[in-house]
Amino acid sequence: MILQMDFATAPPPYPAPGPARNALLRPLAHSIAADTPGLVWKIWTEDAAAGRAGGLYAFTTREHALAYQEMHSARVLARGATDIRAVLWDINAELTAITKAG
């Protein structure tokens, strides 16, 4: 199961993409990796010009993806983000394996 999420980033003083934001979010990245049930991996995404950030997540089950979506939406709202978008995608395992992702 793939969860795609993105949102409008918080206005300043929240750092723009780059070293300062990475330093601020590094502890969160470690927490996500260690403490998120069913997480296989996360790819962090940024579009500085559009003022958006988010991620692509692989989960072992739809239930894990939905639980993370709910929790993460509340977390980024609390940090000042807006316009949260989330989409769940099923994975076609047969074709994905052919294209080297499985």
The CATH number of whichever domain residue 10 belongs to comes to 3.30.70.100
pLDDT digits (tens, 9 = 90+) for 17-71: 889 889 989 999 999 999 999 999 999 999 988 989 999 999 999 999 999 999 9
pLDDT value of residue 102: 66
pLDDT value of residue 13: 66
- What's the domain count of the chain? 1
Domain that residue 55 falls in: 2-98
* Entry pTM: 0.89
Which burial class, exposed, middle or buried, applies to 41 when counting CB atoms under 10 A from its CB (0-12, 13-18, 19+)? exposed
What average pLDDT score do residues 70-93 get? 95
